[in-house]
Amino acid sequence: MTIWQHYHLAKSIEDALQALAAAQGPARVIAGGTDLLLDLEQGRHSPVDTLVDVSAIPEMAELEQRADELFIGAAVPLRRVVQSELVGRHAAALQEAAGLIGGPQVRNTATLGGNVGHALPAADGAIALLALGAEAEIASLSGRRRAPMQALYSGPGRSALSHKEEILVGFYLPLRAEGEGSAFRRVMRPQGVAIAILNMGVWVQRRQETIQAARIAIGPAGPIPFRARAAEQLLAGRPYETALLPRVVEAILGEARFRTSPHRSSADYRRHMCGVLLEDTLNAAWERAALQHEMSR
């Protein structure tokens, strides 16, 4: 069936916002379309009349350092995120996550805006962004605003953005400072859909052998991408040692809501893998935090 009537290749954010507002029937933003088109074709998404393509908007395709932040346009194809030296330096977790999404063909069109816009609680890009303390820039006809990652969600597969009025412009990530490091890991299953059974992004700030601060993001561990705040607090200010891990896992299990998904994973397996991923991801982030790196100011 015809899954759209009008396809608008927007030239600018303004143009895209106006096209959304002016559309007669239901309208949607499309970037790579690697989620949206399949959802439409397979009847998982309500029908649309107009698709507004943001992938050719120059501002949304920028990837650069802006003052003391890293800006990644919402329409930058994941291939560029993976290949970017800036991302590698400041956001290793994101680079790892983006490199695991799809294959090369998918990464040539898929975007971070779409990964977040699709609003799955275990989207790999979103989990990494959350761990890295990213903020999103949102444009509407009334102007621009910034929002923390978790404010972009209202439930599983439901974005908090207003579909006909708002567009994700891009993401701002704090630059990596001395003693900081991040990592991303996930566990997959060889059968069935290629979405992580469990994934995890970890960011740590380290001073010698002590964790000063940490951010832990996990999916799927609730209706929206999950931050393990109790565990983060437990880690903060403590020397890093393996003996600490069981208590951290316990703290995560106390807060997270792991569920059983038929033909994918039991809640028990997710709980079990949570400990495994924590050890691996935290270790990797910790190691990176120790590495000398060239400061980019």
Question: Which amino acid, 26?
Answer: P
CB 48 within 8 Å of CB 27: yes
Q: Determine, following the binding rule CB under 8 A, whether residue 79 of this chain makes contact with another protein.
A: yes
CA 28 – CA 199 distance, rounded (Å): 28
The item of ligand FAD, another protein, none sharing an interface with residue 118, based on CB under 5 to 8 Å by kind, is ligand FAD
The item of another protein, ligand FAD, none sharing an interface with residue 42, based on CB under 5 to 8 Å by kind, is another protein
Q: Provide the mask over 73-102, with x wherever binding to ligand FAD is found by CB under 6 A and - wherever it is not.
A: -x-------------------------xxx
Which two three-digit tokens encode residue 77?
């194809």
Strand partners, 145: 138
Q: Which is nearer to another protein, 216 or 277 (CB)?
A: 277
Q: Determine, following the binding rule CB under 6 A, whether residue 220 of this chain makes contact with ligand FAD.
A: no
CB of 2 to ligand FAD, least distance (A): 18
CB 260 within 8 Å of CB 278: no
Q: Which is nearer to ligand FAD, 148 or 254 (CB)?
A: 148
Strand partners, 135: 148, 172
First-residue to last-residue Cα distance in the chain: 53
In sequence order, the 6+-apart residues with CB closer than 8 A to the CB of 207 are: 179
Backbone angles phi, psi at 212, to 5 degrees: -85, -40
The item of ligand FAD, another protein, none sharing an interface with residue 181, based on CB under 5 to 8 Å by kind, is none
Of 288, 120, 282, residue with least CA distance to 215: 282
Q: Determine, following the binding rule CB under 8 A, whether residue 76 of this chain makes contact with another protein.
A: no
Residues that bind another protein (CB under 8 A): 1-7, 9, 30, 33-34, 37-38, 41-42, 51, 53, 55-56, 79, 102-106, 108-109, 187, 189-194, 263, 265-266, 268-269, 272-273, 276
Residues that bind ligand FAD (CB under 6 A): 28-36, 54, 74, 100-102, 106, 109-111, 113-115, 117-118, 123-125, 161, 167-168, 194
